[in-house]
Amino acid sequence: MSLLNSWFSSPPLDAAIEIAPEAVSIAIVGGRGPTPVVQGYAVEPLPVNAVSPSLMSTNIVDRSAVVQALRAACDSVGMRPRRAALVVPDLLAKVSLLKFEKVPSRRDDLDQMIRWQMKKSTPFPIEDACVTHSPGVKSADGNEFLVVAARHDTIREYEGVCDEVGVEAGLIDLSTLAVVNLSLASNPPSADWLIVHMRPEYTSIVILRREDVIFFRNTAEGDAEALQDVVHQTAMYYQDRLEGRGFSRVLLGGIGRVPGAVDLARRNIEELMGTVVEPIDPTRGAQLTDRIHATPELMATLAPLIGMLLRTRTEAVAV
């Protein structure tokens, strides 16, 4: 199934898998009430460079190691789901915001218009890409769309790992966009808000205006700019170009490359912005059973997984 497929028409999934450079993780949820319950999870570490997310090159470098880790994770939770939602790294895709003065009424025409526009900035042939889009802010001067593009071959690498274990990837999305879905499911504010999602290999920054993404930036770990500088630049761009009037909430979560990286980032951002930075909390979207102890590391692991599972439920209801 295509990356970020917005036309999900199957029953909601009960399992989500994330294939990240540092580990393969899985979460199983149950319950059909308003709040799902995490019934089990597992995390299997990967050898260094077994997964190397990239727009242009091979991502699954050591396929056997990744397959083995996914199989072990499924065995650990005592379940090998037939279908699962799949979370993949931000770095494998190009995320853009496109605005059009007029939007075609036919979806096929809109798809072609978006592909034509993306062709100008995508570093790979658009004919070889999975391209998907979601509607964004509507204004007097046009309609905006959040567009995600990734090479078909790259998506197939991740799907192929699941296939080898006997799991069909029923829905695929980027890690940070899954976190956005988690945050949207837990009473999003009625104004502008900021999400900072850290991973060992990259940090992604998202600005939302109510429920619409109006800014997305990804910076690779090791870039010369420190995170607080990137956040500062983002805040300045927000004020100057996006008619920003201040953030009603600032959320931060994820996993840093070194111990304490997320806590340091929180202190720096609070000092920079003069506001309280809230943790990204997956338990606002799903409860944990009594036997699961909520550590910061586990919260960072569960956030994109639960975000994906909440999205499948929302879309299944909407169909």
Q: Tell me the domain boundaries of the chain.
A: 1-185+281-319, 187-279
Mean pLDDT of 57-86: 96
Question: pLDDT at position 29, please?
Answer: 92
Residue 83 has pLDDT above 60, yes or no: yes
Question: pLDDT at position 130, please?
Answer: 95
Rounded to whole angstroms, the Cα distance separating 287 from 248 reads: 25
- Report the half-sphere exposure of 60 (CA within 13 A, side-chain side): 21
Q: Which residue has the higher pLDDT, 287 or 11?
A: 287
Mean pLDDT of 250-256: 94
Contact of 89 with 21, CB cutoff 8 Å? yes
The CATH topology of domain 1-185+281-319 is Nucleotidyltransferase; domain 5 (3.30.420)
Whether 187-279 and 1-185+281-319 are alike in CATH topology: the answer is yes
Residue 12 has pLDDT above 90, yes or no: no
Rounded to whole angstroms, the Cα distance separating 308 from 84 reads: 10
Q: Which CATH class is domain 187-279?
A: alpha beta
Task: Summarize pLDDT for 128-170 with one digit per residue, the tens.
Answer: 999 999 999 998 889 999 999 999 999 999 999 999 999 999 8
Adjacent-strand bridge partners of 303 = none
Question: pLDDT at position 319, please?
Answer: 40
Q: Which residue has the higher pLDDT, 311 or 89?
A: 89
Residue 29 φ/ψ, nearest 5 degrees: -120, 155
Mean pLDDT computed over every residue of the chain: 91
- Report the half-sphere exposure of 52 (CA within 13 A, side-chain side): 8
Q: Which residues contact 307 (CB under 8 A, 6 or more apart)?
A: 178, 179, 180, 181, 182, 183, 185, 282, 285
CA distances from 262 to 19, 111, 228, 270, 271 (A): 21, 38, 12, 12, 14
Question: pLDDT at position 69, please?
Answer: 98
Rounded to whole angstroms, the Cα distance separating 316 from 13 reads: 9
Query: Please, which pLDDT band fits residue 220 given cuts at 50, 70 and 90?
Result: confident
Query: Please, which pLDDT band fits residue 226 given cuts at 50, 70 and 90?
Result: confident
CA distances from 71 to 28, 29, 161, 176 (A): 15, 18, 10, 24
**Residue 70 CA from chain centroid, whole number:** 19
Rounded to whole angstroms, the Cα distance separating 277 from 284 reads: 16
Rounded to whole angstroms, the Cα distance separating 122 from 126 reads: 7
Adjacent-strand bridge partners of 196 = 205, 252
Question: pLDDT at position 9, please?
Answer: 41
Mean pLDDT of 186-191: 80
Contact of 46 with 66, CB cutoff 8 Å? yes
Any idea which residue has 């083995």 for tokens? 68
Question: pLDDT at position 189, please?
Answer: 80
Q: How is residue 309 written in tokens?
A: 């599972």
What number of other Cβ atoms are within 10 A of residue 208's Cβ? 25
Q: What is the DSSP string of 220-254?
A: ETT-SS-HHHHHHHHHHHHHHHS-----SEEEEEE
Mean pLDDT of 33-47: 91
Rounded to whole angstroms, the Cα distance separating 183 from 307 reads: 8
Residue 225 has pLDDT above 70, yes or no: no
Nearest C-alpha neighbor of 218 from the set 303, 244, 227: 227
Q: Quick check: pTM over 0.75?
A: yes
